[in-house]
Structure 1
Amino acid sequence: MTDPMHTPYGQGLPATPATTGEERTWAVLGHLAAIVAAVISAGWLSFVGPLVIWAIYKDRSAFVRQAAAGSFNFNLAVWAAIVVGWVMFFTVILIPVAIIVWGVAVVAALVFHVRAAMAANRGELYRYPWGITVLR
């Protein structure tokens, strides 16, 4: 098994032993819940879905816990980028830069969450390219 700390970002890692269909389903939901919550809340609550799934499964399944924690940590980084974009927006002169930051954050969130969900569906762990590590 590949060491997750030394694996290139965005590469699916082998699943933990005996990953069940239910665990894969919850791991997929852990990744996609962020997108759903972002759409419903205009981006402000994208971290809630992964946090709830992490809280429920943190002691039940290492696979689901790692998937939800990765999604949560990545969402914090995306959320921070969006907040930085708002700060730039209110400086008026940096409005074009703010729009670019928002665009990159939104596209990155969509692409990486979908890739992570696809890896989880295959029973593989996914390592996001960046994140603010709060949950493990």
Structure 2
Amino acid sequence: MSENPFDPSQASAPPPPPPPSQDHPSGIVAEQRQWAMFAHLSAILGAVLTSGIGGWGTFLGPLIIWLLKKDTMPFVDDQAKEALNYNITVAIVFFALWVLVFITLGIGFLIAIPAWIVIGIAWLVFTIIAAIKSNDGVAYRYPFTMRLVK
């Protein structure tokens, strides 16, 4: 009896697909890239859940992730510190604008409100860019950031 290549009962199953590759062009494993992304995005979550941009919630998430992962994941250590420093810097600027408002007995609102809007939009944009870059395995550096946590 000859084999019929068109008979489905006689056909052999195709080989299984190869497992997905764990290699990434950056050389950083997926778990580290995801935790680094979470460090940046946790600032947005903190702003939503607490007092908004410039409040304590924006740097609480990056701080927790940094403390948990700094010894085991070098890329997360770097990116969580970067997110932490950036959010502390933004909080300091927001606080300084509040001081300006109080010192000038409210007249400083003319400067503070537009500044808060511009800084808030820039904060959101830079945080999203940082999350995307870190998920790609790129060590992102925020502009205008004081490096307080080393």
Query: TM-score, length-normalised on structure 2?
Result: 0.76
Higher relative contact order (CA 8 A, sep 6+): 1
What is residue 57 of structure 1 aligned with on the other side? 69
The yes-or-no answer on 1:39 pairing with 2:48 is yes
Q: Distance in 2 between matches of 1:16 and 1:133?
A: 28
CA deviation after TM superposition for structure 1 residue 56, in Å: 0.8
* Root-mean-square deviation (Å): 1.7
The residue type equivalent to 2:35 in the other structure is: W
- Per the alignment, residue 18 of structure 2 pairs with none
Please say if 1:26 is aligned against 2:40.
no
Structure with greater proportional helix content: 1
Shift of 1:87: 1.6
Runs of 4+ in 1 over 6 A off after TM superposition: none
Task: Give the drift of 1:17.
Answer: 6.3
Cross-structure match for 1:81: 93
Does the 8 A contact of 1:28 with 1:118 survive in 2? yes
Q: State the Cα deviation string for residues 68-118 of structure 1 (Å, max 9, x = none).
A: 000000001110111112122222121110102211221121011100000
CA distance in structure 1 between the partners assigned to 2:140 and 2:134 by the alignment: 7
Between the aligned residues of both structures, percent identity stands at 38
CA distance in 1, matches of 2:98, 2:65: 29
Structure 2: how far apart are the matches of 1:60 and 1:104? Answer: 37
Structure 1 partner of 2:147? 133
Q: Aligned AA for 2:79?
A: A
- In structure 2, the partner of 1:117 is 131
Structure 1 segments unaligned to the other structure (5+ residues) = 1-14
When residues 82 and 88 of structure 1 are mapped into structure 2, their CA distance, relative to the original with a 3 A threshold, is: same
Of residues 15-24 and 108-117 in structure 1, the stretch that sits farther from structure 2 once superposed is 15-24
C-alpha distance in 2, partners of 1:51/1:79? 14
